[in-house]
Structure 1
Amino acid sequence: MNVPLPAAGAHSGAGRRRTRLTAIMTGIALVGAPLVVGASFGTTAEPQAIAAEAVQPLLSTASTTWKYSDNNTDPAAGSADRLSWTTASFDDSKWKSGKGSFGAKHGAATGIGGHTANTLLTQYIGDSKDDVPTFHFRTKVNVTKQQLASATEFTGTALYDDGAQIFVNGAKVAGLSDERVEQAPEAQRNLMYAGSGASDPAPATFSVPSTALHEGENTIAVALYQDRKSSSDVYFDLQSLAPAQPEAPVDPTPPTDVVLTVGDDESQRRLNWYTATSTDQAVQVAKQADVTGDQFPADKAKTIAASAKGKTTSGEFAHDATITGLEPNTTYVYRVGSDVTGWAATETFATKAFSGDYEFLFFGDPQVGASGNLANDEKGWVDTVDVAEQTYPNSEMLFSAGDQVNTASREDEYDTFLKPKQMRQVPLVPVNGNHDVGSKAYEQHFSVPNWDQEHGKATSATASGGDYWFIYKDVLYVVLNSNNGDTASHKEFVDQVVKEQGAKAKWKVLAFHHSIYSIAAHVNDKQIKDLRAALPTIASDAGFDLVLQGHDHSYTRTYLIKDGELANPDETAAQGTVTAKPGEVLYVTANSASGSKYYDITAPDAWYASVQNQEKVRNYSHIAVTDDSITVKTLRSEQKGDDKPVNSVVDEVKLQKVDTTAPALTVPADGTIEQGAEFDPLDGVSAVDVRDGDLTGSVKVEGTVDTATPGAYTLTYTVTDAANNAATAKRTVTVAAKATPTPEPGEGTGEEGTGQNDAPQSPADQSPASAEQPAADQPAAEQPGHLAQTGATGAALAVGLLLAAAGAVTLIVRRRRA
C-alpha cells in the first residue's frame, strides 16, 4: 500500500505546544479550582458531563506561609547531619516568615524576568554586592488518610532561579539544576553557589511519591541556590503540590520532536520522537528508489517496532528505534508513528561510503532561550545550520557541544533546537551540557549508542547523565557527561572503551561540554579547574588526538598538549599544521552557533591558547577526516563588518600524527639478463609515501651491473620520506654469457658442394704455416676454429673427431679402388 507523503522537512510542534501549555496551566490552576477530568487539552471540546470533585492542593502560593533564612548561614552548622534542617524536629522559630513568591533583582522585588516577588529576599552579603549563595525555606502541610489512599504520587509545580533542592520529611524528592550541589562535598552543600545561570526564572514540575508522606503533619523544605556571587537575581515560587490526576484523553495527533541521532557505526541510525498518548509506535523505512510519485512505499518499507521510553517530564511519551543494516551510498525515506496516532511527515537521509575520507559539522552551544528572545535564538540557530549544510552538503554528522537549550525542562526550547530540517536528515551527536542536565528531558529526546548510565551517571533522580561511544569510519568517538565531576569514573569508562575498541580506530576523538582550555568567563570556575587537573592526562594516556568542547561561548584552539603541559615549545601561535607525537592532543572550544549568548575573553594570556577569538558573531566548524589528517576549519555563519562575510574563516588547523610509516618501495624480482644486453636499474622501480606522495624520483641505487661480464650482481635500493622514514630493498641481477652458434653437420668437412677438396687434410697433415694461430690475448671461445665455451663443447669435439675419422676411411677405400 502506498500512502501520500506529507511535506518533507515539516516539523510539527505548534499544536503540541498548545497542549503542553494547557497542561501546565491546568496544573497551576489546581490551586483553589476544580480540575475537569476528561477534558481534551489544547482543544475546544466541551467538558464531559461527569466531573471530578475539586482537588485541594497540599500547598499553594496564595495559601502557604513559609519560614525562611536569607542571612548567609548554614542552618545545619554544628550538626553531623547536613539535612537536619529539613526534618520536623528542626527549630526554625528564629527564621523570618512570608508568603511566596520570594525573590530579588539588584536588591528590588521587581523585574525578575517579568515576575514581582511577594516577599523580598536579602540578596547581598552584608554591605557587599556579593550574592547570598543559598536561601532556605520550610513549611508544614497536613495530609489526610483519604488523600494518601487516593493518589500514588503528588505533583508539584515551581518557578526557580537559579537552582533548587526540594525535601519532604528530611529526604530529597527533587533536584532542579542541582548538579553542582551533588558534585560538591557534603559539608558544603547547604551554603554554596550552584544552578543553571538562567537569565529568567525557569518553570519545573516534580513528583513526590505518596510513600514519602505520612498521615498528619509533613515538613517541606527547599534550598534555593544562586549560580554565582554576581548573579543579578534570585527567585522561588512553589506554586502547588497536589495529588496527581489521571491522564486526560487527547485527540490523536502525529508524533512530534522527531530527531535522527548517530548509531553504533555508519550502517545505523537512531530515531527519537514524542507522542501525546502512550501507544505502540514504529518507524517505517524504505529506499528512495522505491518511492513512486508522492506516495510513501509502505508495501516495500521495513517496519521496526519502537521502544517506549516512558512518560516525559512534559507529560508526553518518548519513543526510540534503531535502523540497522543500511547500505552505503543509498538514500532512504522514513516516517515514525502508527495508524492510531498517525504518522509524522516523511523524511529522508542518505548514507555515504562506509570507509575512506569524510566530513562533519561541529556547533558550539546553541543554548536557545539564553538571550531572553527565543524567536531570535531560533532564527540564528536555523540560519547557522542552513549555512553550514549548504556550504558542506556532504557532511555526515551534526556534532553539538552541549547546552542545546537554556532551561533543561523547557519543551518550547527543545522545539526551537529541533527546528532545523537537518535534525531529521543528518545524524546528530549530542553532548550533555550544564543547561541540559537538570531534567530527564535530555535523555528523553536523545537516544545514543553504547550508553553507560553508571559512568558519568546522573547526579540526581531528576537529572540526565551517562557516557557513550561509537565508531564512525574507523574513528572512535567517546562522549563524556562532564556535569558529573567524578573523573575516576570517566577514566574507567575511557580506558575500557579504548582497550576494547581502540585497535579498530585510526583516530580517537573525545568530546565533553565543559571546556578545560577556554579563555572566557568559566576559565577559573572550581569545576573547570578540577576537570583540568584530571582530564588531560586521561586524554593523553588513552591516545586521543582531538578534544571537542563548548560551555564558554568563545573560540579557543590550543597548542598541542600532553598530560596537561605544552607539548612542543617550538610550536608557533596559529600554526596552520601541527604534527602530534603519541600522547599529544589538540583541544578546540567552539563559540555560540545561535548567537544567544557570548562571553568576553578574560584570560587572553592563557599559556595553552594558540588561537582565541571573540567577535560576538555566530560560528560553526567544518571537520574533515582522512587517513592522514583531521582538519578543523571554523567559519562565521554571519557577517562581521565589511571584510568578514558569511563563511569567512576564523581559524583553520590541520592535525597530523608524527609520520612513522616508511614509503612503499617496489623493485622488480631477481632475474637474469643476457651478456651485452641493455639494462636500466630503475626500470620497474616505484616509491609512494602516504604523506609525501610519489617518491619514485628520490629512489637511490647502490651497486652496478656490468653487462659485458657474466656474473651475479646485487643492487640495493633506498628511498627516504620527509620525516626521515627509510625503505630499503635488494635484488640480484645475473648476467649470463652470450652463446656462440654451433656449426651444422658437414660444415667445413670437404663434402660435396663445399668448394673444398674431397679429402681434407687431417690435423696431422697440416703444416704449422697453414694452421691459423690464435691471438695470445684472444679468448678461446673467440679464437678461429674453437667452439663456443658452452655446455655442448665436449659433444661438438666428439662430432668433429668422428667426422674426421669417417673422412679418412673414405679416402682409403677410394685409393684401393683406384
Structure 2
Amino acid sequence: MVADILGAQADTTAPKLIIGEGRNMKNAKVYVAEQTDATTNTKTNEAYFSNKVTATGLSANTAYYYSYEKEDGTYTEPAEYATKSTNNYSFIFVGDPQIGSSNELKGSDTAEFYQAQSDAVRNDSFNWNTTLNEAMDKTGGNASFVVSAGDQIQTTKKKSPGKSEMTSEIEYTGYLSPDVLKSLPVATTVGNHDADNANYTYHFNTPNSSDLGSNGVVGGDYYFTYGNTLFMMLNTQDTNAAEHKQFMEQAIAANPNCTWRVVTLHQDIYGSAEHSNEPEITNLRYTLVPYFEANDVDVVLTGHDHAYSRTHILEGGHKTVEYTDDEFDAELDKDMDAGENPATRYEAPANISADSKEPADVAYLNYLNAVMDKDAVEDTEKGETVVNPDGILYMTANSSSGSKYYDLVPRMQSYIANRWQEDIPTYSVIDVTDNTFTINTYRTDNDQKIDETFTIKKGVTEDIKSTSVGKVKNQVYTGKQIQPALKVTLNGKTLKAGKDYTVTYANNKNTGLAKATINGTGKYTGTQTVTFKIVPEKAVLKTVKAGKSGTATVTIGKAGGKISGYAIQVSTDPSFKKVTTYRTAKTTYTLKNLSKGKTYYVRVKAFTKVSDKNVYGAASKTIKVKAK
C-alpha cells in the first residue's frame, strides 16, 4: 500500500501513519512519512510538504484500518483498506479525468476564470466520483486498484495564470475527493497536462521509480507487480524511446516470471479520434512498438484521445511515409471542420474527398492510409477470444469524467477492431487469471457495455494435429537431403517455425515418398506427419540416331538417385500433342516401325514408382530424327 499526505506544516516534523488489522488495528505498525518540500504559495508564504509512506508486509484478502497524523498532532478517523486476492483479480482502467477541463476560460488571470475553474472542478469531480463508484459496483467492490492513463488534471503550469504551480491544486483536490479513493489505490500515468508541474509528484507515490523516461519535472517510468502481472508505467512526455526500452528490460529482468506484461502510456499510439493520426503520435508509435514486441508485451493501455477504441491484435507495424505536424494540422482542421453551428456528432465529417486532386489533400490522404497499419493486423481467430496471440492489443480509454470529448476520425483505421464515442464517460473492468485477460467496457449513463467482451488466452496448449499444413509441391532430386519449408496454420493464423513447431524429415534424400514430421513446441503439443514426393532430376537425352528399316537408337544419360526407368516420348508434332511412350530401364533403346522419310521428335523423362504409381521428372531437351 502507498499513501500520500499533502498539507501545510508548522515545522518539518514528518507525520506518521498507523495501519493494523481490523477495526481494533491489531498488530498495528507505525510508519514515519518520507517528507519532501512541496511548493510555496507566494501570496501567503505558507510552506507545504509532501509526505509519503509505503506500508509493507500486508496480507491478501485482509481488512486493514489506517490513520495518519494531522498538523495539530491528532489522528484522522481510521479508514478501511481491504486487500484483495492476487490470484484471480480485477482492476479498473480509466482515461483522462482531466479535472477542470470543462472550464472554457483557459488560463485567464481573472475572477471569472477562478470561478469558472471552481465550477468546472465541482462538475468534473462529481462525474469522476460517479464513474469510480459505478466501476466499483460493477466489480462487486472487489477491484484491486485503478489504472489511469494520464491527464489527471487540466491546468498545466505553462497555461495557468501567472504560471503558478498552485493553480492546479484545486483540480488535484477534486481528483482525490471521491471517498472510494480512501480504500482504492490508483496507478497514475503522466499525461501532457500533468507533465510540467511538480505537483503531480507530490500527490502520487509511485513504486520502483526510475530516472529513465524522466522529463526532468515529474519523474520517469515506474513499475509494479500484482499477482502474475507486471505493469510498466511509461512517462512518454519524454519521447526518448531508448530510455523506455532500457527501463522495460530492467523491469522484466527483475520480474521474469510474470505471466502478463502490461504497458501504460498516455499518448494513443493506436487510437481512433482526433489525436490518433498526428505525426508526433505515429512517430512515437513506430519508435516504441518494436521494443514492446521484442519484450513480449501483451497489452498497451493509453488515453489522450478522449474516445474509446480497441485494436485487433497487432504485430510489425512500420513507418512508410514522412509527414510533418504543420502539414497535418492544416489538413486535419479542414477535414474535421463541422461549421459554426455543428449538430451533435461523434464522428468528424471528412470534408476532404477521396478523389481530391489538391496536392496537400493527396499527401494527407496518402499519409492516413500509410498509418492504418493494415499489414500489422495479426491473423487470429475472429470473435471475442484470441488464443496465444503473437502480437499486442492496444486500448485507448474514453474520458472517465466527461470533462472533454473528441470526435472519432471519419476514416476508421484498419487496425481498429471496435471504437465508440457518444460523449458519455466510460470505464473498463479488466479481469485477470493465470491464463486469461478479459476486458469489459461500460458507459456510465445506463451501465451498458459499449463493446463485446474481449478475452486474450495464453499458455493454452493446442494439439498440432489441429493445424492445417499447406500442400508441399514435388521436390526435385539433388543428391542431398531436401527440407522444404512448410506452411502451418490454425484458424487462419500462420504458425512460426522454431517458435511454434520444429520439423524432422525422413526418406528425404532419394527419389520417392519423403516424410516431414511437425513437432509442436511452446504453445503447441503433439506431432503431425505429412508426405511429399521427390521426383527424378531432369533427364538427359544424349543422342537419337536413325538406323536401317525404320529404326532409331536412343541413348540416355544415367539419372541420379533411385529410379524405376525412363519414359521415351515420340511424336510427329514438336509440341507433343500426340505422343507414343516407350518405357525402359536401360539407357539405350531402339525405336522400331518408324515411317520412312518421316521426321520424329523425341524426348525422355526419368520416373520412379511411388505407391504403385509412376512419378516423372522433367522432360529432357527434344531431338528430332528422320527415319530411313
TM score, norm. by length of structure 2: 0.58
CA distance in 1, matches of 2:38, 2:412: 49
Q: Which residue pairs with 2:22 in the alignment?
A: 288
Q: Which residue pairs with 1:319 in the alignment?
A: 51
Contact 2:440 2:449 in 1 (8 A): no
CA distance in 1, matches of 2:154, 2:460: 44
CA distance in 1, matches of 2:238, 2:192: 10
1:380 maps to which of 127, 136, 155? 127
SS for the counterpart of 1:561 is: coil
Structure 1 residue runs of 4 or more that deviate by more than 4 Å after TM superposition: 565-573
Q: Alpha-carbon deviation of 1:499?
A: 2.5
Is residue 495 of structure 1 aligned with residue 249 of structure 2?
A: yes
2:433 maps to which of 607, 612, 626? 626
Contact 1:313 1:440 in 2 (8 A): no
Within 5 A, what are the aligned runs for 1:68-83?
none
**How far does the alpha carbon of each residue in 1:697-725 deviate from its partner, in whole angstroms, 9 at most, with x for none?**
xxxxxxxxxxxxxxxxxxxxxxx99x863
Contact 1:432 1:465 in 2 (8 A): no
1:348 maps to which of 80, 100, 106? 80
**How far does the alpha carbon of each residue in 1:486-523 deviate from its partner, in whole angstroms, 9 at most, with x for none?**
1111111112222232x220111111111101111112
**How far does the alpha carbon of each residue in 1:377-426 deviate from its partner, in whole angstroms, 9 at most, with x for none?**
11111111111111211110111111000014410000100011121201
CA distance in 2, matches of 1:569, 1:442: 38
| Cα pair distance change 1:607/1:658, threshold 3 Å | farther
Q: Which amino acid aligns with 1:659?
A: V
2:237 maps to which of 465, 480, 483? 483
Contact 2:314 2:392 in 1 (8 A): yes
CA distance in 2, matches of 1:609, 1:650: 12
Q: Which amino acid aligns with 2:131?
A: T
Is residue 429 of structure 1 aligned with residue 229 of structure 2?
A: no
Q: Which residue pairs with 1:307 in the alignment?
A: 34
Q: Alpha-carbon deviation of 1:301?
A: 2.5
CA distance in 2, matches of 1:520, 1:445: 30
Q: Alpha-carbon deviation of 1:289?
A: 5.0
Q: Which residue pairs with 2:175 in the alignment?
A: 417
Q: Which residue pairs with 2:228 in the alignment?
A: 474
Contact 2:125 2:175 in 1 (8 A): yes
CA distance in 1, matches of 2:77, 2:155: 28
Q: Alpha-carbon deviation of 1:338?
A: 5.0
Based on CA coordinates, which of the two structures has the bigger radius of gyration? 1
Contact 1:470 1:478 in 2 (8 A): yes
Contact 1:549 1:588 in 2 (8 A): yes
Contact 2:306 2:405 in 1 (8 A): yes
Q: Which amino acid aligns with 1:331?
A: A
| Cα pair distance change 1:367/1:636, threshold 3 Å | same
CA distance in 2, matches of 1:497, 1:398: 20
Within 5 A, what are the aligned runs for 1:54-203?
none
Q: Which amino acid aligns with 1:350?
A: A
| Cα pair distance change 1:572/1:494, threshold 3 Å | same
Within 5 A, what are the aligned runs for 1:195-344?
269-277=1-9, 278-290=12-24, 301-312=28-39, 315-337=47-69, 340-344=72-76
Contact 1:572 1:610 in 2 (8 A): no
**How far does the alpha carbon of each residue in 1:58-95 deviate from its partner, in whole angstroms, 9 at most, with x for none?**
xxxxxxxxxxxxxxxxxxxxxxxxxxxxxxxxxxxxxx
CA distance in 1, matches of 2:280, 2:17: 41
Q: Alpha-carbon deviation of 1:479?
A: 0.5
Contact 2:150 2:303 in 1 (8 A): yes
Contact 1:514 1:549 in 2 (8 A): yes
Is residue 398 of structure 1 aligned with residue 127 of structure 2?
A: no
CA distance in 2, matches of 1:506, 1:661: 18
2:276 maps to which of 512, 523, 527? 523
Q: Which residue pairs with 1:465 in the alignment?
A: 219
Q: Which residue pairs with 1:595 in the alignment?
A: 402
Contact 1:456 1:482 in 2 (8 A): yes
Q: Which amino acid aligns with 1:616?
A: D
Q: Which amino acid aligns with 1:359?
A: S
CA distance in 2, matches of 1:516, 1:305: 41
CA distance in 1, matches of 2:381, 2:387: 12
Contact 2:377 2:415 in 1 (8 A): no
2:209 maps to which of 451, 454, 477? 451
SS for the counterpart of 1:312 is: strand
SS for the counterpart of 1:397 is: strand
CA distance in 2, matches of 1:628, 1:661: 14
| Cα pair distance change 1:343/1:607, threshold 3 Å | same
**How far does the alpha carbon of each residue in 1:298-319 deviate from its partner, in whole angstroms, 9 at most, with x for none?**
xx52111111022336541110
| Cα pair distance change 1:336/1:563, threshold 3 Å | farther
Q: Alpha-carbon deviation of 1:567?
A: 4.7
Q: Alpha-carbon deviation of 1:347?
A: 1.3
Q: Which residue pairs with 1:581 in the alignment?
A: 389
SS for the counterpart of 2:405 is: coil
Q: Alpha-carbon deviation of 1:662?
A: 7.1
SS for the counterpart of 2:451 is: strand
Contact 1:560 1:580 in 2 (8 A): no
SS for the counterpart of 2:17 is: strand
CA distance in 1, matches of 2:16, 2:181: 19
Q: Which amino acid aligns with 1:653?
A: F
May I ask how many residue pairs the two structures share in their alignment? 382
SS for the counterpart of 1:280 is: coil
Q: Alpha-carbon deviation of 1:661?
A: 6.7
Q: Which residue pairs with 1:358 in the alignment?
A: 89
SS for the counterpart of 2:143 is: coil
CA distance in 2, matches of 1:611, 1:349: 36
Q: Which amino acid aligns with 1:488?
A: A
Contact 2:380 2:389 in 1 (8 A): no
Q: Which residue pairs with 1:203 in the alignment?
A: none
TM score, norm. by length of structure 1: 0.45
CA distance in 2, matches of 1:428, 1:620: 14
Q: Which amino acid aligns with 1:614?
A: Q
The CA RMSD measured in Å over matched residues stands at 2.4
Q: Which has the higher contact order (CA 8 A, sep 6+)?
A: 2
CA distance in 1, matches of 2:381, 2:40: 49
Q: Which residue pairs with 1:89 in the alignment?
A: none
CA distance in 2, matches of 1:350, 1:647: 28
CA distance in 2, matches of 1:662, 1:396: 36
Identity %: 32
Q: Which residue pairs with 1:608 in the alignment?
A: 415
Q: Which amino acid aligns with 2:426?
A: N
